[in-house]
Amino acid sequence: MNLANKITTSRMVLSIIIIIILLFPFYDVGVDVPTYLVNGNIVVDLRYIVAGGLFIIASLTDFLDGHIARKYNMVTDYGKMMDAITDKLLVNSVLIILACNGMVSPVIAVVVIIRDFIVDSAKMVVGNKGKAVAAIPIAKVKTALLMVGLTLTFFYNLPFELFNFGLSDLLLIIASVLAVVSGVKYYNMAMKVIK
């Protein structure tokens, strides 16, 4: 287990911790999670702040593990597989939970998750033919916008919410559009390889 793989594994652990923090019924077991009133009308739940901080760390490890693996020739099959799994575990679970809690539009969650299923299936079919579909820049931009948008959502879109500017929603909408566009591009690339 090299350094890059350890970082990837740590992201999986962080993802599980984030899920537990967001889903655990603290109130049912008699634990009062502190809430704070910001600007007189924004109720901030400490669970989301803590989960948001962990989400930032997990998101940074997503960049870090790949960078280290490529730079120091630590690319392994385990790393490739676990990187893809942990990315989906982190982002898709957070999208589902935030959508269920009314903090993200369910449309965004559905679009991003369906796109991931289609792209991953296409890559799997191409991989079975001994080929690969290269990453495209628009997909990287989509991921970056999605991560930043979700991070802002965890932090109640502050400080932008103070000025009634929904930057988190805007970034997530743009990321969803890019998810569709990049999904179509990946699908077309895969079909060319398959044909």
Q: What is the pLDDT along the chain (195 residues), one digit of tens a residue?
A: 789 999 999 999 999 999 999 999 998 999 999 999 999 999 999 999 999 999 999 999 988 988 898 889 888 888 888 888 999 999 999 999 999 999 999 999 999 999 999 999 988 888 888 887 778 999 999 999 999 999 999 999 999 999 999 999 999 999 999 999 999 999 999 988 887
Q: Hey, which residues does 45 pair with through a beta bridge? A: 35
Q: Which residues contact 29 (CB under 8 A, 6 or more apart)?
A: none
Q: What does the DSSP assignment read for 7-53?
A: HHHHHHHHHHHHHHHHHS-GGGGT----EEEETTTEEEEHHHHHHHH
For residue 28, CA distances in Å to 23, 25, 49, 99, 100 come to: 12, 5, 20, 22, 19
Domains present along the chain, CATH in parentheses:
3-194 (1.20.120.1760)
Are 153 and 145 contacting, i.e. CB atoms less than 8 angstroms apart?
A: no
**Cis before 159? omega within 30:** yes
pTM for this predicted structure: 0.92
